[in-house]
Copies of this chain bind each other. A is one copy, B any other.
Amino acid sequence: MRRDSRLSRMLHVLIHMDRHSKRMTSETIAQMLGTNAVVVRRTMAGLKKQGYVRSENGHGGGWELARDLAGISLLDVYLAIGAPSLFAIGPSSENPACLVEQAVDTALDDTMRNAERLLRARFAEVTIADLASDFDQRYAALQSSGEICAVKA
């Protein structure tokens, strides 16, 4: 399978929603992400459940932020999309009978757990507003006035 890009995509979307006055439809967001509207709804469902975004049906409907970006951390988003597995490596089996394998897997597991703790701690430190201001700096640096992801910022 490909690398899981849901976290990256949701952060991307949230920032655009913040800079976008009107509601954005799944279709608009999908084009922005280079994907499909169903994929967008599927992934955004978790953010909605956690109250980070709202969605409205019908004419003029779509998605909008339900909270300030300064109040949402990367960890919040990561958890909202279901806290998918961070690592591509792991033990060879769940419950090995072999004591050697148990020792190896325990050691690896400890190391991976530590790494996961650090990653989560780091995610918790950064708000989406922080990322947005990173974008502002890039934008100012380039002094560009063109299109940004097919959606004006």
Are the C-beta atoms of B12 and A100 separated by less than 8 Å?
Answer: yes
Q: How far is the CB of A45 from chain B (nearest CB, A)?
A: 18
Are the C-beta atoms of A119 and B111 separated by less than 8 Å?
Answer: yes
**Is A91 in the interface zone, CB < 8 Å from B?**
yes
When A100-B135, A134-B106 are in contact, do A9 and B92 touch as well, CB less than 8 Å?
yes
Of A7, A12, A118, A148, most B-chain CB atoms within 10 Å: A12
Majority SS of interface residues in chain A?
A: helix
Instruction: Tell me which residues across on chain B come within 8 A of A58, comparing CB atoms.
Output: none
Give Cα A92 to B35, complex, Å.
10
Are the C-beta atoms of B98 and A148 separated by less than 8 Å?
Answer: yes
Identity of the chain B residue whose Cβ is nearest the Cβ of A78 in the assembled complex: B89
Enumerate A51-96 residues with CB–CB distance to B below 8 Å.
Answer: 74, 84-93
Q: How far is the CB of A40 from chain B (nearest CB, A)?
A: 12
**Is A8 in the interface zone, CB < 8 Å from B?**
yes
Q: How far is the CB of A133 from chain B (nearest CB, A)?
A: 9
